Amino acid sequence: MNLDKNFLVPFIQNALAEDVGDGDHTSLSTIPQGQQGKAKLLIKDSGIIAGIEVALEIFKVVDPALRVEIFFSDGQTVKPGDIIFFVSGSVHSILKAERLVLNTMQRMSGIATKTNSIVKILEDTNTKVLDTRKTTPGLRYLEKLSVIIGGGVNHRFGLYDMILIKDNHVDYAGGIYNAIHSVHDYLKVKQLSISVEIEVRNLQELMQVIEIGSVDRILLDNFDFLTLKKAVDLINGSFVTEASGGITENNVLEYAKCGVDYVSMGALTHSVRSLDMSLKAVNS
């Protein structure tokens, strides 16, 4: 896995500065400088592990002399009692890295686990699950990486890598026709080559988009199952289709059975339970 070091290193440095401040006074006052030790990352939940590669970078930034012995890879299934890795070296360094490693891996593993549960539900369909921009500010890269580790697909990363004309854009632009044509004028002037998606709220708006064309994907937002199936039939493969709005683990299969290419779920990143794990000292 090729991590984005341009994001990761500043993220780690900022997180450590936030946590450590002018020093880990508890460790400095209770443990002699230079004491060596070992710790294990112990799993307490069943799920998909994510963030191991990130943890390695955290240890490297904290103390390049720390040594890590790894037994699992990102994306593997884990269960209570599993040991993901041992880390050994300066006890002060291990304790300095501990909370950041746990916070990162617990959240990433929670997202990967939730995503993987959706992927398994959809495995007998042709529908893929997408994430959204409903992410934690400053953590989008890690949260979207977790979706990939769990087997999902990333939607646009931000406002810059895809055009998604949503309901507010349509309303402010004065309608679907104006919005689509303004987008293509803009792309031409800026000499940009990025995908264009448009959200529709009903079959009437859908018919306008089908007539106008000039988009790559249609987002069918808050459609009931009957209307969604009609919409997919009307599109008839002419555009990539995506369903969103109110999609949960309990109803995602019904949405997929309507024939959409993608379902997008904000819950993958904004409403997950972190996977329980701990970093425990090993007495040798």
Which tens digit of pLDDT belongs to each residue from 151-172?
999 999 999 999 999 999 999 9
Instruction: Out of 166, 201, 230, 257, pick the active-site residue.
Output: 166
CB 242 within 8 A of CB 61: no
Instruction: Out of 40, 133, 134, 140, pick the active-site residue.
Output: 134
Same domain for 66 and 183, yes or no, is: no
Same domain for 215 and 129, yes or no, is: yes
Mean pLDDT of 120-133: 97
Instruction: Out of 24, 82, 131, 199, pick the active-site residue.
Output: 199
Q: How far, in Å, CA of 89 to CA of 91, rounded?
A: 6
Q: How far, in Å, CA of 70 to CA of 220, rounded?
A: 44
Same domain for 76 and 10, yes or no, is: yes
Residue 244 has pLDDT above 90, yes or no: yes
> 183-214 burial, b for 16+ CB within 10 Å, e for fewer?
beeeeeeeeeeeebbbbbbeeebbebbbeeee
Neighbours of 282 (CB within 10 A): 12
CB 143 within 8 A of CB 272: no
Interval 177-216: pLDDT, tens: 999 999 999 999 999 999 999 999 999 999 999 999 999 9
Same domain for 138 and 171, yes or no, is: yes
Q: What is the DSSP string of 193-241?
A: ---EEEEESSHHHHHHHHHH---SEEEEES--HHHHHHHHHHHTTSSEE
Catalytic residue list contains 221: yes
Of the pLDDT bands very low, low, confident and very high (cuts 50, 70, 90), residue 283 is confident
pLDDT confidence of residue 266: 95
Catalytic residue list contains 199: yes
Task: Give the structural domain span for 147.
Answer: 120-270
Same domain for 101 and 138, yes or no, is: no
Instruction: Out of 143, 221, 242, 261, pick the active-site residue.
Output: 221
**Could you tell me if residue 115 is inside a domain?**
no
**Could you tell me if residue 230 is inside a domain?**
yes
- Is the entire prediction scored with pTM above 0.85? yes
Among the listed residues 99, 30, 27, the one whose alpha carbon sits nearest the alpha carbon of residue 59:
99
pLDDT confidence of residue 284: 65
CA 141 from chain centre, in angstroms, equals: 7
Catalytic residue list contains 53: no
CA 25 from chain centre, in angstroms, equals: 34
Instruction: Out of 40, 99, 229, 230, pick the active-site residue.
Output: 99
Catalytic residue list contains 205: no
**Could you tell me if residue 114 is inside a domain?**
no
Q: How far, in Å, CA of 277 to CA of 37, rounded?
A: 20
Interval 67-99: pLDDT, tens: 999 999 999 999 999 999 999 999 999 999 999
Catalytic residue list contains 273: no
Residue 1 has pLDDT above 90, yes or no: no
Interval 21-43: pLDDT, tens: 999 999 999 999 999 999 999 99
Same domain for 90 and 167, yes or no, is: no
pLDDT confidence of residue 191: 97
